[in-house]
C-alpha cells in the first residue's frame, strides 16, 4: 500500500502530483526490489496520476496495480446515510464510483440498505452525495496540515481483507481498457 499525501490537498492536483511523484517512485522501486510478486494498492493522491506512476515505475502488469478509491468513499457515504437514517452503519451498503475527488459519483442506492425503506428527503440525499464527494477535503481542512490518514488506512486494510476473504463486489480503481467505456484512467468501477 502506498500512501503519501504530503503538503497539498487533493484539490490541488498539479502541486500534489509534483510533491508526491518522487515519494511514489522511491517507494515503488523498493516494493519491486523486495516484493516483486505483490499487488500494489495506491492510496496516494492525485489517485489516477499516482497509480499511473506506480504502474510505469513498477513495470508490473496492470492487474497488479490498483487504486484505492471506492472502499474509502463508500465507507464515508455509508456513515452519512446511517447518520441520516439513524441505523447502524453495518446495515448500510453504499457504492461510490468514478475518480477519487470532488468529481466522484456517489450512488444513492438507498434501496440496497438492509433496513426498512424510509423516505429520505431529496435535500438530504443531495447533502449526503455532496459531503461524500468532499469527505477527504473536509478532514484535510480540519487537520490543517498533513492528510486524512486514518480512514484511508482502514479502507486499504478492508480492501486487502476483501481480496483475500470474500468475493463480494466492491469498487476499486483499476486501469480499464474499454470496460464500461473507459480507457486509460484509473477510476472507480465495480
Q: Pick one of 70, 98, 106, 152: the residue that binds ligand 2OP (CB under 6 A).
A: 152
What residues from 119 to 138 belong to the interface with ligand 2OP (CB under 6 A)?
Answer: 135-136
Residue 172 DSSP SS3: strand
Contact 28, 139 (CB under 8 A): no
Measured from the CB atom, is 68 or 85 closer to ligand 2OP? 68
**Catalytic site includes residue 100:** yes
**Sole binder of ligand 2OP in the list 10, 60, 95, 98 (CB under 6 A):** 10
Range in contact with ligand 2OP (rule: CB under 6 A) among 57-65, 77-85, 91-99, 148-156: 148-156
- The cell numbers describing 171, all together, are 469498487
Burial call 2-33: b when 16+ CB within 10 Å, e when fewer:
bbbbeebbbbebeebbeebbebbeebbeebbe
Minimum gap (Å) between residue 80 Cβ and ligand 2OP? 14
Q: Which distant-in-sequence residues (6+ apart) come within 8 Å of 108 by Cβ?
A: 125, 128, 129
Q: Which is nearer to ligand 2OP, 5 or 40 (CB)?
A: 5
**C-alpha–C-alpha distance, residues 81 and 89, integer Å:** 8
- And the C-alpha cell for 103? 468529481
Q: Mapping DSSP to helix (H, G, I), strand (E, B) and coil, where does residue 96 land?
A: strand
Is 104 a binder of ligand 2OP (CB under 6 A)?
no
Q: Which of 7, 34, 93, 100 is catalytic?
A: 100
User: For residue 120, is the peptide bond before it cis, meaning its omega torsion is within 30 degrees of 0?
Assistant: no
Total residues in contact with ligand 2OP, by rule CB under 6 A: 12
How many CB atoms neighbour CB 54 within 10 A?
26
Choosing from 2, 148, 172, 173, the residue that interacts with ligand 2OP (CB under 6 A) is: 148
The vertex-71 CA angle with 68 and 74, nearest 5°, equals: 135
Does 188 bind ligand 2OP (CB under 6 A)? Our answer is: no
Nearer Cβ to ligand 2OP (147/171): 147
Residues 28-87 binding ligand 2OP (CB under 6 A) are 45, 72
User: Where along the sequence are the contacts to ligand 2OP (CB under 6 A)?
Assistant: 5, 10, 45, 72, 135-136, 139-140, 147-148, 151-152
Active site positions, annotated:
100
Amino acid at each position: 500500500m502506498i500512501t503519501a499525501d504530503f503538503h497539498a490537498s487533493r484539490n490541488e492536483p498539479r502541486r500534489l502530483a509534483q510533491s508526491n511523484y518522487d515519494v511514489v517512485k522511491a517507494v515503488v522501486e523498493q516494493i519491486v526490489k523486495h516484493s516483486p510478486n505483490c499487488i500494489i494498492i495506491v492510496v496516494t493522491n492525485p489517485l489516477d496520476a499516482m497509480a499511473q506512476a506506480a504502474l510505469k515505475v513498477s513495470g508490473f502488469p496492470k492487474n497488479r496495480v490498483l487504486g484505492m478509491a471506492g472502499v474509502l468513499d463508500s465507507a464515508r457515504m455509508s456513515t452519512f446515510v446511517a447518520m441520516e437514517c439513524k441505523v447502524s452503519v453495518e446495515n448500510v451498503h453504499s457504492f461510490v464510483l468514478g475518480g477519487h475527488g470532488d468529481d466522484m459519483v456517489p450512488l444513492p442506492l438507498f434501496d440496497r440498505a438492509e433496513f426498512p425503506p424510509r423516505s429520505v428527503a431529496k435535500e438530504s440525499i443531495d447533502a449526503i452525495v455532496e459531503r461524500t464527494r468532499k469527505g477527504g477535503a473536509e478532514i484535510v481542512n480540519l487537520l490543517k496540515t498533513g492528510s486524512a490518514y486514518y480512514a484511508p488506512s482502514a479502507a486499504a486494510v478492508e480492501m486487502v481483507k476483501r481480496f483475500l476473504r470474500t468475493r463480494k463486489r466492491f469498487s476499486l480503481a483499476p486501469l480499464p481498457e474499454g470496460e464500461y467505456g473507459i480507457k486509460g484512467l484509473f477510476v472507480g468501477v465495480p
